[in-house]
Amino acid sequence: PKQPVKVLVTGAAGQIGYAIVPMIARGLMLGPDQPVVLHMLDIPRMADALNGVRMELVDAALPLLRGVVTTSDEAEAFQGVNFAVLIGGWPRKEGMERKDLIAKNVAIYKSQAAALQQHAAPNCKVLVVANPANTNALVLKEFAPVVPAKNISCLTRLDHNRALGQIAEKLGVHVGDVRNAVVWGNHSSTQFPDASHATARTEHGERPVAELVADEKWLSEEFVSVVQQRGAAVIKARKQSSSLSAASAACDHMRDWVLGTPKGTWVSMGVYSDGSYGVPDGIFYSFPVTCEKGEWSIVQGLQIDDFARSKMELSANELDEERSMAYEFVST
């Protein structure tokens, strides 16, 4: 039997936290044969709520769950963890500028970087969910220089899954039969959801989505904007942001990273750019990746046309701006 691994969830008393901890403790993130010890961090004001979640985990009688640590102390939270899912952060309030949001979260991620570097297990894999996710991941990387950049990632899998969902609905096929959409760029409304490499399994074999949809306008306009705006649409409908789908996507992201992507299938992950596809390095950018033996690698050689190129640049430019803002606050 496998030894338990330690999984940290920050912001564990929040909405996504509440959705994800039972998923992790049921093996949806690391596999049905992998026991886990959950470390849950939230701010002191949330201590009671966090304890309530701990009580519910006990009450759920989860055989894979071998222990729960609840704390508001970063050092204790990061102690010995093998996986860290960073969901905790300062939420965007109405009327709040992006700059203010970045300032608040830079402070949090700077401090958590120190805890990660000092206390986590060697080779700890990190997934940043909290927004601005790409830039929080960058701050984490900058302030945890000993942690290899390849071990830090941010969540764009929700956007990727949304893209698959839209294609499946459009074609009237099962979502499990659609693969290889790509989300490029920032986890924000400048992201570029790209269906031009996607395929779907049909009774006539696996075919390009573009050919099956046969509607250029839908692919380049409606599909793109529906995926970009999906988060806002869920908030409008639910009066709360997407938490079930975000938690589910975070499990998909970690599971594929650790256990590997199926042959011939790629997924989207926000990773530290190595300059692939002409994306500037020095930013966390969402790329198509495959994973094997716990390592991701960017899918190479996809054709990028002028339309895609301009969308990809727009999102890279936004990330460059976010980086400049973040560095302003870091240096003060």
Q: Give the interface with ligand NAI as residue ranges (CB under 6 A).
A: 10-11, 13-17, 41-43, 46, 87-91, 108, 129-131, 133, 155, 158, 187, 241-243, 246
Cα 72 to Cα 43: distance, rounded to the nearest angstrom = 5
CB-nearer residue toward ligand NAI: 48 or 306: 48
Per-position b or e across 45-56, b if 16+ CB within 10 A of its CB:
ebeebbeebbee
Q: Which candidate, 8, 283, 261, 253, places its Cα nearest to that of 124?
A: 8
Burial of 4 (0-12, 13-18, 19+ CB in 10 A): middle
Smallest separation (angstroms) from ligand NAI to the CB of 89:
4
Smallest separation (angstroms) from ligand NAI to the CB of 7:
15
Residues contacting 145, CB < 8 A, separation 6+ = 117
Residues contacting 87, CB < 8 A, separation 6+ = 9, 10, 11, 12, 14, 16, 17, 20, 129, 130, 250
CB-nearer residue toward ligand NAI: 14 or 35: 14
| Helix H or strand E segment including 200 | strand 199-202
Phi, psi (deg, nearest 5) at residue 194: -125, 115
CB-nearer residue toward ligand NAI: 34 or 286: 286
**Considering just the CA atoms, what is the radius of gyration of the chain in Å?**
19
Structure tokens that stand for 181 in this block: 């959409």
Residues in a beta bridge with 330: none
Which one from 39, 160, 187, 197 is the annotated catalytic residue?
187
Query: 284-292 and 267-272: which strand pairing?
Result: antiparallel
Helices (H), 195-305: 209-213, 216-217, 223-228, 230-238, 244-259
Tell me whether the omega of the peptide bond preceding residue 132 falls within 30 degrees of 0, making it cis.
yes
> Can 119 be counted among the known catalytic residues?
no
CB-nearer residue toward ligand NAI: 41 or 200: 41
Burial of 168 (0-12, 13-18, 19+ CB in 10 A): middle
Smallest separation (angstroms) from ligand NAI to the CB of 55:
16
CB-nearer residue toward ligand NAI: 92 or 201: 92
Cα 23 to Cα 15: distance, rounded to the nearest angstrom = 13
3 state DSSP class of 319 = helix
Catalytic residues: 187
